[in-house]
Amino acid sequence: MTVPVAATTLVHFYQAFRRYMDMTPEEMVMVAHASFPGAYRAFAQGQADLVYTAPDSPNVLEWQGGPHGLRFLDFPEDPAAEARWGEWLPDVPFSKVARGPKEYQGIRMPVNYWVGSSLAELDADVVYNLVKWIDENYDRVKGLCSECNDNTMEYFRESLDYAYAGVHDGTIRYLKEKGMWSAADDARNEYNCWLNDQYVEAYSTAMQMAKDKGLQIAPDNEEWVQLWRDYKKGLGLPRLRIMTDEEIAAALAKIK
């Protein structure tokens, strides 16, 4: 199998897919391209067997009408395979497609949940009213773009089940008013905030350690990458990953 690669993002998805399928490195050949358009063009021209893209990407319509056609892969529920996937991409869950061409909606595949973020220091009233406005004015923006169709409280509520970062107090207040926030959400948010704080503190310390050693802090500097990796391991920091309510409860019990 040949796949086109243009950035680390695609590499991570292909590596996760290879593990999901339990394939050997020799069974998946990654061919480097200078850009995303170049990688996608290779797929369109039949020079690659598989490519990762969003279901509502403009490329999809082009590929559907091309000489080689297009087929989205449907991922059946397979706990063992999904565990292997999660070892590489722990922040990308499997869910049913709700966007893009109708013939692909409903199939099950890896889905990124894009949720807006805000500074923790931002005034809670500002965030509360912003979330409320988005909820109450959904009909005014629905259909203006594919992303606008995701501005529903139902979609946001679903994304919270996969959250591994804290939720703003203003957002929580509005969700509680809507009856869309539970005790399980409180537990998840408490653990996520604790773990994110641990990473912020650890990263700051690791950066200072690197500066003391005269190391350049850059993703392509293997010495720095190894220092950060070893420091995390020494602290026993858990991975940032999607967790079930049961896993959250067990993790909270350990830190309290």
Q: What is the mean pLDDT of residues 68-90?
A: 88
Q: What is the mean pLDDT of residues 169-181?
A: 95
- Per-residue model confidence (pLDDT) at position 200: 93
Q: How high does pLDDT run on average in the chain?
A: 87
Lowest mean pLDDT among 98-107, 139-148, 156-165: 139-148
- Per-residue model confidence (pLDDT) at position 9: 73
- Per-residue model confidence (pLDDT) at position 240: 85
Quickly state the pLDDT bin for 99 (edges 50, 70, 90).
Answer: confident
- Per-residue model confidence (pLDDT) at position 217: 93
Ranges 96-105, 162-171, 187-196, most confident:
187-196
- Per-residue model confidence (pLDDT) at position 134: 87
Over the stretch 177-206, which tens digit does the pLDDT of each residue have?
999 999 999 999 999 999 999 999 999 999
Q: Can you give 206-224 as a three-state secondary structure string?
A: HHHHHHHHCCCCCCCCHHH
Q: What is the mean pLDDT of residues 106-115?
A: 75
More confident residue, 55 or 12: 12
- Per-residue model confidence (pLDDT) at position 148: 67
Quickly state the pLDDT bin for 5 (edges 50, 70, 90).
Answer: confident
- Per-residue model confidence (pLDDT) at position 115: 55
- Per-residue model confidence (pLDDT) at position 231: 97
Over the stretch 140-154, which tens digit does the pLDDT of each residue have?
877 776 666 667 888
- Per-residue model confidence (pLDDT) at position 71: 84
